Structure 1
Amino acid sequence: MNAWRQTLSRLMRAGSRLLLVAILGAASLVAAAAPALPADIIADLSSLQKRLEQGEYQDVSRVALSQAERLEEGNASDRWASALYLQLAAGAEARLEHHENAADLLYRARQTPGLESQQYDRWLYEEASSRLSAGQIELATQRLAEWLETHPEQEREIWLMVQLLVRQERWDDAASWVDRALDETATLDSQQSALAVTVYQRAGNIDKALVVLEPGLDSDAPSVEWRRAAAMAQQLEQFALAAAIWDAGWRIGALEGAEDLLTLVQLHLRVGTPARAAEYLEQALSQGLVKQTPAHQRQLAQAWQAAKDQARALEAWQTVAERSGMAEDWLRLGQLAHGWGKTDATRHAWEQAAALGAEQARRWLARLE
């Protein structure tokens, strides 16, 4: 936010420097339609402008405000001069860091009857800057929104609107402005992308958040962004996309470690790619990334079974049975082998189960004879 505030403040100072141009009646767009000023008023305004540049802020503010009030009820030329004095006073107040006073003076200047639209817009913009500097976020938002009605393609200010609305936690309104910002922004930088994703996510527009986030997922993206994208995809029940995102993050090294590997396995199992899940888990077990626990070995066996890879499934289930020493695991292995027509494997498994006291295994063995 500080960067935006500094930008607006610089523009306000630039506006004050342009005041002398308007005073002298130069052919600027801002002052082109303004009434002519008497010579003594031009001289006085020019003098105050120079004193402002020399740092006489308090005196300039006092004198300019007095002159503005004296002239505000006069003719068109007087009212224009009054508005220029108000701008001078606002510039002095801003340099004194009396930002709310500066904003109020610019508001008064904007109320001048017959004010040319471009000058009105300039003071409206400068008022928004002062409101922001004064911490008047709601008023700053209102003024900037009004300014954007006549400057709808100003990318930088649209993003500022988003930030102001975020500070007020007006997520739905901020999301609407993000829509506009994306229309005007050719390429998002990292801060804009992060802001857009946050706004869409908080507003409940998860699909839009994912659209913004996904293109930025590369080897330079932090792991939290990969996790965030996968979580969004799951929230949208796009589990295949979640698995693809997690898989890509794992392959480029953005995601790593046992926990991330097991998440990847679960995602592949959920979306119907059990062979991929089994390959990842088998590699992790062989490399020691994941501990050789009974639960992990069973998960591997279940994955190969779901993938209908008969040889690997039977081998994995045999490993489970051998390590557990449980009759029910040998029974399961025998049933699986029997279903796939593997008579020798079936007999071996049920013989092991029978040796462990499984009566059912004995009955099944009798039927094999």
Structure 2
Amino acid sequence: MDLIQYQDFLIQTAKSLFEIDSPSGFTTKVSEYVYNTIKEMGYSVYCNNLGNVIVKVEGKDNSHPVALSSHIDTLGLMVRSITNDGQLMITPIGSPILPTLDGEYCNIYTRDGQIYTGTILSLSPAIHVFDDATTRPRDEKNMAVRIDEIVNTKEDVKALGIEAGDFVCYNPKTIFTESGFLKSRFIDDKGCAALLITILKIMEKQKLVPQNLTYFCFTTHEEIGYGGSTLPSDIEELLVVDMGCVGADLNCTEQQVSICAKDKVGPYDYEMTNNLIQLSKRHKINYAIDIYPSYSSDAAAMWRAGYNTRSALIGPGVHASHGMERTHIEGLINTMKLIVSYIGINE
């Protein structure tokens, strides 16, 4: 199957997803985008009570339901308190690498629908003013949001409608380079969500039917640990499509699809993982096998919720995860090749 012809659709879908602020707990707009995009293709799609978008695709055999899962929630921040001089102290949502946020532009969303802009900064932001500008820790006790409004006191900020509990969403800075790299925050996991939407587009255009009844699941609470806990109850196999990691003691590159044998929760299903390896070999897909000791996925939430479901994990190699991430179009395409092989629409 020629997947390259859908590369432009994949890139545009990814860009559209990255443009929508969606930290865990603030995902309504991204769920609506995914729902509407897939609904327009003619699929049966619904949102569950927590905002997960679920697409049910009938297969040649509906007796063995399987699922693909990617998450559309991201890392983010929330206002913790307002300082006396009118800055916003923050608390993280998920586990962003806070030092990488020093200097990032952001949006502040109030509970009454106002949106303000700002910049995330160290509390010692100027070398000409603060002796510890280069040495002060970059953590939630020592960083704040400078609002782009004339404010000098806590009361000035509150008059804008900004309160503790408001979401702070930082700029993903998405770029596709001429050399094929996707640079952006939140490739984990909007890059993979774009892959699943592209596969649905391919199936619609080419009138393809998967081997088994297949759920395409877009979850909204993965970054805080329970995205996979409300998936359809009849799933027998779950293939989680999330980022692969690139770095020390790991095999995967940004051009490959990573097959994860084990993360911090434990090994993934042996037979499913073997099948993915054999599919990669058979179809000449550029892959690597890795172990991620500081990683968990929707599968962990599913297992903790008591599902009797086997699971495996794949994804494109992503450098600098939870920071300023990067992958390559080859890694995305190789991941897509493995997904279409797994669901049986590549022949």
TM-score normalised by the chain length of structure 2: 0.20
Question: Larger relative contact order (C-alpha < 8 A, sep ≥ 6)?
Answer: 2
* Higher share in helix: 1
Which of the pair has more CA radius of gyration?
1
User: Which has the larger share of strand?
Assistant: 2
